[in-house]
């Protein structure tokens, strides 16, 4: 048992923080509620960006960059939107500092109008879209932005809820309501596929109820994941905004019949919160476990020896193994670059997106194992003197703790890719099985109460009603996570009102 990580069964929130600390993913910063994302954590975000960005481009989107600051008057233009965001935002009021009488710096040069640091960018996108869009020929306009945003939250938790976070926000404009709705659903599917194929994280696709939707949206879709403590995590949202923002910002186009029309718009986003989801989906009491597609460090080669003579032989052999895994060229570049370092980083590809490390530090092998285990590396390659003699090595897989004896002769980059695929798929299946085992159906409010406390997704017939939702939340702390897109069909009785209804919903406690 890792001494620096408390067991999940004992204190789940502390376990989460311990895992992050042990893996050096992030730290709290001197700015309240803001985190520093450390290299090993930021590498996860880079992997997420790379994979999602490819998917966005494959579906016809382009990236752009809009200003960080938003004039306060812009927020006012959409009534629901301003209510949703005005209470918690960083306000820029001055454009200079000067030394005060106490010798310390204070704000000076007050601005004519204050700005907020963007909590989201519908308003400033809307303002620019109104200038760029003239006719149906300019549509659809499909733009995404990778950016930092701020929401001055009171209670924060690393990755899951921080005052500043990183995200992407897609903003699109269309000729018809139908096209905009299709886009909203297309991006929901992109998110769900990405969660499945890349994060190995099963999600349920659904629609938010009126009381849970985005401020300013007509419809909000969501992907909901289930964490190991039985709490749900909203992992991504896609909003059909109707004409709410096009009317507020006057985004009009000349249609095919030469009539001036308001556009139909959408927005959709995921954030660094996904890293929190990734941690809580896969990790165990020993620390972080990363799906191999996400891991920037795919594995560590750990040489094991007792004498100087053995050391030289084993390390020489480890380099042969690395050349087989990553290619001779990448090994040589690493040996040259890291010649003064104790850990050699060998990239597996020309874009330097993944690497395998050779751990040449002094110290006991068991300590090195522990070090890489806590950092969630999918694979460990153990090489001792006997392995050198046998032209073999031991492959340790982090996620299921399995050990496999392998021959050097069978190893090449394809061999490694096959291992990646196998583990990636097995991790998804394990998480899916967990999610299914923690999804129950109930038929009464009493059953709901009980099921919710036990944790997991609780499925039931429910007649949507904001007041009832508020009451249930008050009494159970559970919320409707979504109205799943997959429905059994037919009708059933609402567990609360007894009314006949066509839809089942998922209740759960949530992050």
Q: How far is the CB of 1 from a second copy (least distance, A)?
A: 25
Q: What is the DSSP string of 435-457?
A: HHHTEEE-SSHHHHHHHHHH-SE
**Which residue in 300, 278, 287 sits closest to 428, CA to CA?**
278
Q: Does 371 bind a second copy (CB under 8 A)?
A: no
Q: Does 17 bind a second copy (CB under 8 A)?
A: no
Q: Does 360 bind a second copy (CB under 8 A)?
A: no
Choosing from 81, 127, 208, 481, the residue that interacts with a second copy (CB under 8 A) is 127
Q: How far is the CB of 425 from a second copy (least distance, A)?
A: 20
**Which residue in 159, 235, 158 sits closest to 201, CA to CA?**
235
Q: Does 502 bind a second copy (CB under 8 A)?
A: no
Choosing from 210, 312, 329, 342, the residue that interacts with a second copy (CB under 8 A) is 342
Tell me whether residue 153 or residue 503 sits nearer to a second copy (CB atom).
153
How many Cα atoms occupy the beta-carbon half-sphere of 288 within 13 Å? 32
- Residues 152-181 within binding reach of a second copy (CB under 8 A): 152, 164, 166
The stretch near a second copy (CB under 8 A) out of 73-81, 201-209, 250-258, 426-434 is 73-81
Q: How far is the CB of 312 from a second copy (least distance, A)?
A: 23
Residue 166 to residue 176: CA distance in whole angstroms: 31
User: Among positive and negative, which fits the CA dihedral 116, 150, 120, 82?
Assistant: negative
**Which residue in 507, 457, 503 sits closest to 478, CA to CA?**
507
Q: How many residues bind a second copy (CB under 8 A)?
A: 81
Q: Does 258 bind a second copy (CB under 8 A)?
A: no
Residue 117 to residue 119: CA distance in whole angstroms: 6
How many other β-carbons are positioned within 10 Å of the β-carbon of residue 120?
22
Q: Does 11 bind a second copy (CB under 8 A)?
A: no
Tell me whether residue 119 or residue 385 sits nearer to a second copy (CB atom).
119
What is each CA distance from 208 to 218, 238, 372, 459, in whole angstroms? Answer: 10, 10, 40, 14
Q: Does 510 bind a second copy (CB under 8 A)?
A: no
- Residues 93-122 within binding reach of a second copy (CB under 8 A): 93-98, 104-107, 114-117
Q: Does 364 bind a second copy (CB under 8 A)?
A: no
Tokens 């394809």 belong to: 414
Choosing from 13, 14, 46, 328, the residue that interacts with a second copy (CB under 8 A) is 46
Write down the H helix ranges in 206-249.
244-249
Choosing from 43, 173, 322, 451, the residue that interacts with a second copy (CB under 8 A) is 43
Tell me whether residue 11 or residue 329 sits nearer to a second copy (CB atom).
329
Residue 223 to residue 184: CA distance in whole angstroms: 12
Q: Does 66 bind a second copy (CB under 8 A)?
A: yes
Terminal Cα-to-Cα distance of the chain (whole angstroms): 27
Tell me whether residue 203 or residue 326 sits nearer to a second copy (CB atom).
326
Choosing from 35, 200, 235, 346, the residue that interacts with a second copy (CB under 8 A) is 35
Q: Does 249 bind a second copy (CB under 8 A)?
A: no
Q: Does 67 bind a second copy (CB under 8 A)?
A: yes
Query: Would you call 257 helix, strand, or coil by DSSP?
Result: coil
- Residues 482-501 within binding reach of a second copy (CB under 8 A): none
Q: Does 86 bind a second copy (CB under 8 A)?
A: yes
Q: How far is the CB of 181 from a second copy (least distance, A)?
A: 15
Q: Does 42 bind a second copy (CB under 8 A)?
A: yes
Residue 123 to residue 78: CA distance in whole angstroms: 8
Q: Does 27 bind a second copy (CB under 8 A)?
A: yes
Choosing from 148, 261, 313, 497, the residue that interacts with a second copy (CB under 8 A) is 148
Q: Does 36 bind a second copy (CB under 8 A)?
A: yes
Choosing from 4, 11, 14, 39, the residue that interacts with a second copy (CB under 8 A) is 39
Give residue 368's Cα distance to chain centre: 28
Q: 471: which residues sit within 8 A by CB, 6+ positions away? A: none
Tell me whether residue 132 or residue 405 sits nearer to a second copy (CB atom).
132
> By the 8 A CB rule, do 176 and 272 touch?
no
Q: How far is the CB of 327 from a second copy (least distance, A)?
A: 14
Q: Does 68 bind a second copy (CB under 8 A)?
A: yes
Q: Does 507 bind a second copy (CB under 8 A)?
A: no
Provide the b/e sequence for 22-45 (b: ≥16 CB within 10 Å): bbebbeeeeeebebebeebbbbbb
Residue 323 to residue 408: CA distance in whole angstroms: 11
Query: Would you call 305 helix, strand, or coil by DSSP?
Result: coil
- Residues 322-341 within binding reach of a second copy (CB under 8 A): 333, 337-338, 341
């Amino acid at each position: 048992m890792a001494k620096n990580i408390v067991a999940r069964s004992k204190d789940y929130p502390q376990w989460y923080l311990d895992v992050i600390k042990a893996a050096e993913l992030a730290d709290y910063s001197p700015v309240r509620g803001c985190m520093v994302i450390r290299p090993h954590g930021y590498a996860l975000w880079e992997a997420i960006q790379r994979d999602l960005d490819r998917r966005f481009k494959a579906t016809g989107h382009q990236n752009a960059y809009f200003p960080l600051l938003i004039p306060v008057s812009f927020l006012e233009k959409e009534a629901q939107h301003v209510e949703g965001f005005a209470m918690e935002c960083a306000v820029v009021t001055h454009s200079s500092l000067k030394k005060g009488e106490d010798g310390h710096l204070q704000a000076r040069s007050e601005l004519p109008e204050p700005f907020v640091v963007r909590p989201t960018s519908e308003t400033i996108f809307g303002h620019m879209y109104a200038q760029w869009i003239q006719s149906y020929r300019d549509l659809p306009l499909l733009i995404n932005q990778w950016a930092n945003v701020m929401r001055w939250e009171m209670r924060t938790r690393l990755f899951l809820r921080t005052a500043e976070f990183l995200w992407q926000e897609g903003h699109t404009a269309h000729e018809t309501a139908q096209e905009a709705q299709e886009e909203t659903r297309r991006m929901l599917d992109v998110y769900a596929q990405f969660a499945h194929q890349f994060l190995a994280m099963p999600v349920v696709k659904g629609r938010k109820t009126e009381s849970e939707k985005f401020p300013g949206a007509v419809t909000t879709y969501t992907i909901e994941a289930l964490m190991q403590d039985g709490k749900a995590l909203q992992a991504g949202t896609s909003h059909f905004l109707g004409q709410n923002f096009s009317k507020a910002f006057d985004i009009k186009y000349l249609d095919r019949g030469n009539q001036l029309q308001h556009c139909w718009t959408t927005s959709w986003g995921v954030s660094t919160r996904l890293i929190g989801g990734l941690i809580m989906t896969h990790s165990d009491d020993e620390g972080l476990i990363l799906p191999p597609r996400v891991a920037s460090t795919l594995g560590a080669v750990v040489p094991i020896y007792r004498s100087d003579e053995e050391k030289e032989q084993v390390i020489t052999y480890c380099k042969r193994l690395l050349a087989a895994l990553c290619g001779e060229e990448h090994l040589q570049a690493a040996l040259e670059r890291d010649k003064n370092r104790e850990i050699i980083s060998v990239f597996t590809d020309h874009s330097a997106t993944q690497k395998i490390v050779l751990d040449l530090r002094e110290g006991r092998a068991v300590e090195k194992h522990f070090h890489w285990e806590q950092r969630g590396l999918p694979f460990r390659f153990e090489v001792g003197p006997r392995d050198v003699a046998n032209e073999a090595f031991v492959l340790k897989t982090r996620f299921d703790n399995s050990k496999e004896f392998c021959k050097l002769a069978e190893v090449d980059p394809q061999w490694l890719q096959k291992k990646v695929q196998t583990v990636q798929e097995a991790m998804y299946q394990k998480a899916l099985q967990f999610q299914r085992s923690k999804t129950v159906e109930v038929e009464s409010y009493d059953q709901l109460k009980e099921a919710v406390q036990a944790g997991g997704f609780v499925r039931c017939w429910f007649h949507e009603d904001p007041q009832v939702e508020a009451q249930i939340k008050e009494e159970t702390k559970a919320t409707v996570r979504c109205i799943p897109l997959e429905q059994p069909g037919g009708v059933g009785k609402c567990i609360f009102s007894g009314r006949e209804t066509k839809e089942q919903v998922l209740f759960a406690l949530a992050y």
